[in-house]
Amino acid sequence: MSGFSYRDQGLPTDPLQIQHISITPDPPKQGAVLKAVITATVQEEMTDGAYIDVTVKLGLIKLFSKTYNLFEKLKGDTSEGWSLTATPGVAGEPIKPGDIELTLTRDLKDVPHAKFTVQARAFTAADDDLAAIDFTVDLMAPPAG
């Protein structure tokens, strides 16, 4: 395993269609800042109130589960050690149909050596499916010395 993989769990009818995800560093390293770039196509306008449910697991053990307001994250909320930006920028406006690049940044300095699975389920302001992605991040390799 390269240390990172993802699986698009969404449907062809979802308003946000994931095209590709790349990360740096690849493979991810404990102590580094992980940057994931998600290239996608917006099929339907996304409005404030859209949200993401994130669940982090270690094997079958659920370590973390939380819901985040998508637009609050895009407006610069960096709480809890991660951030999300969009190109073209959003600045609180609805996201129009077309191509978009979402960049997620997460500092891995306090993340233990382990193999994690992350489930991200995004929903529209009307609680309809928006997108669904499962990530695997393997930080088992010792840090380079």
pLDDT of the residue at 80: 80
pLDDT at 1: 45
What are the structure tokens assigned to 34, written together? Answer: 């992980």
Q: What is the pLDDT along the chain (145 residues), one digit of tens a residue?
A: 478 999 999 999 999 999 999 999 998 988 899 999 999 999 999 999 999 999 999 999 999 999 999 988 888 888 888 888 888 776 667 889 999 999 999 998 888 889 999 999 999 999 999 999 999 999 886 655 4
Q: For 4-136, which CATH superfamily applies?
A: Ganglioside GM2 activator (2.70.220.10)
What is the value of pTM for the model shown?
A: 0.88
**Domain boundaries, given as residue ranges, for the chain:** 4-136
Is 106 within 8 Å of 54 (Cβ atoms)? Answer: no
Residues, the chain, total?
A: 145
